[in-house]
Amino acid sequence: LSVKASSYADELVKTAKSIASPGRGILAMDESNATCGKRLDSIGLENTEANRQAYRTLLVSAPGLGQYVSGAILFEETLYQSTSDGKKMVDVLVEQNIMPGIKVDKGLVPLAGSNNESWCQGLDGLATRSAAYYQQGARFAKWRTVVSIPNGPSALAVKEAAWGLARYASISQDNGLVPIVEPEILLDGEHGIDRTFEVANKVWAEVFYYLTENNVMFEGILLKPSMVTPGAECRDRASPQQVAGYTLRLLRQRIPPAVPGIMFLSGGQSEVEATLNLNAMNQAPNPWHVSFSYARALQNTCLKTWGGRPENVQAAQETLLLRAKSNSLAQLGKYTE
């Protein structure tokens, strides 16, 4: 552990534990301006700062959200932004007992020398940015890199993904931010669930190898894995019990119990599917807090219900709360359809 990270060690452990508290998970609302533009376009809205602000205001101020949500991941714009009625977004979250987090990666670009795969940028200047984000109220960070099964994955792409995550995690801890470690294994492809398991096993082995090499403190990180499912175009579908069985087997083989929280991404699953899969994973006690860090599976219906109309804000917030409450119950293994 580096000297500076050790000065934050107690705080990192506390932050991670509070995010991984029973019955709560993370609202991922950190879409980049480009991705947020696509979401707004789907409801016929222009991608302006005012529209992004109106939508994010709706999300952070949903009454009672903090009962089900312990952390919210923000894009940089939102971390420094005020709500439409002039309060700091960060302050609204803290009042709701929700910890603000920040997406710190700079996105994916082609990985030269690979099989059309990508790597994740953002290490240059990351220490300086992380210190500024902490000052601004962020207490955890997210770095999302991806691994593609149909395109390989090549040994080069897996190593690059794992190394980048480990450098980012170390720099985050050095600056007081709990790193969410997210190697997303993309759903795209015709492969079956066994192939996903095999790739995920290799990816997590390398991620933990490099986390250790970089002296990252496991008690002060959170993971954001993909669930182990068949490829999106695979004809054999898997039940929530099968997804839970494969995913938990993977976690038990690869993830030390010192890691406080496993916060799954939804990765294009439907809202109900994501809830059912999480619920199935929580039918028996786990060594870690197994929960959610969903974007689409919390927001899809909410966004559609809003449709950009002020008169629909309350109804939209109610749909967000319904998804958040359902996933909260699923975290406790108590969700019923």
User: Cis omega before residue 287 (within 30°)?
Assistant: no
187 binds ligand 13P (CB under 6 A): no
Give the one residue of 16, 19, 28, 290 binding ligand 13P; rule: CB under 6 A.
28
222 binds ligand 13P (CB under 6 A): no
144 binds ligand 13P (CB under 6 A): yes
Integer Cα distance of 167 and 173 in angstroms:
10
220 binds ligand 13P (CB under 6 A): no
Catalytic status, residue 202: no
Give the one residue of 81, 96, 247, 266 binding ligand 13P; rule: CB under 6 A.
266
193 vs 295 by CB, closer to ligand 13P: 295
39 binds ligand 13P (CB under 6 A): no
- Burial pattern 7-21, b for ≥16 Cβ within 10 A else e, equals ebeeebeebbbbbbb
Query: Taking a C-beta distance cutoff of 8 angstroms, is the pair 275, 335 a contact?
Result: yes
Give the one residue of 89, 265, 281, 313 binding ligand 13P; rule: CB under 6 A.
265
297 binds ligand 13P (CB under 6 A): yes
Give the one residue of 296, 323, 327, 329 binding ligand 13P; rule: CB under 6 A.
296
Residue 174 burial (CB count, 10 A): 22
Q: Give φ, ψ of 31 to 5 degrees.
A: -55, 135
Residue whose C-alpha is closest to residue 335's, from 68, 60, 53: 68
Give the one residue of 126, 221, 278, 295 binding ligand 13P; rule: CB under 6 A.
295
Residue 109 burial (CB count, 10 A): 10
Integer Cα distance of 70 and 270 in angstroms:
22
56 binds ligand 13P (CB under 6 A): no
Please choose, out of 59-67, 74-82, 249-257, 262-270, the segment that lies near ligand 13P by the rule CB under 6 A: 262-270
140 binds ligand 13P (CB under 6 A): no
- We find the least distance from the C-beta atom of residue 265 to ligand 13P, in angstroms, to be 4
Integer Cα distance of 247 and 257 in angstroms:
15
185 vs 255 by CB, closer to ligand 13P: 185
Query: Taking a C-beta distance cutoff of 8 angstroms, is the pair 78, 72 a contact?
Result: no
Please choose, out of 37-45, 229-237, 240-248, 260-268, the segment that lies near ligand 13P by the rule CB under 6 A: 260-268
Residue of 117, 182, 206, 271 with catalytic role: 182
281 binds ligand 13P (CB under 6 A): no
Catalytic status, residue 325: no
164 binds ligand 13P (CB under 6 A): no
Cα separations (Å) of 168 from 182, 210, 248? Answer: 11, 11, 26
- We find the least distance from the C-beta atom of residue 28 to ligand 13P, in angstroms, to be 3
- Burial pattern 245-270, b for ≥16 Cβ within 10 A else e, equals bbbbebbeebbeeebbbbbbbbbebe
| 138: Cβ contacts below 8 Å, ≥ 6 apart | 74, 79, 90, 100, 101, 102, 177
8 vs 305 by CB, closer to ligand 13P: 305
Active site residues: 182, 224
- Contacts with ligand 13P by CB under 6 A lie at 28, 144, 182, 265-267, 294-297
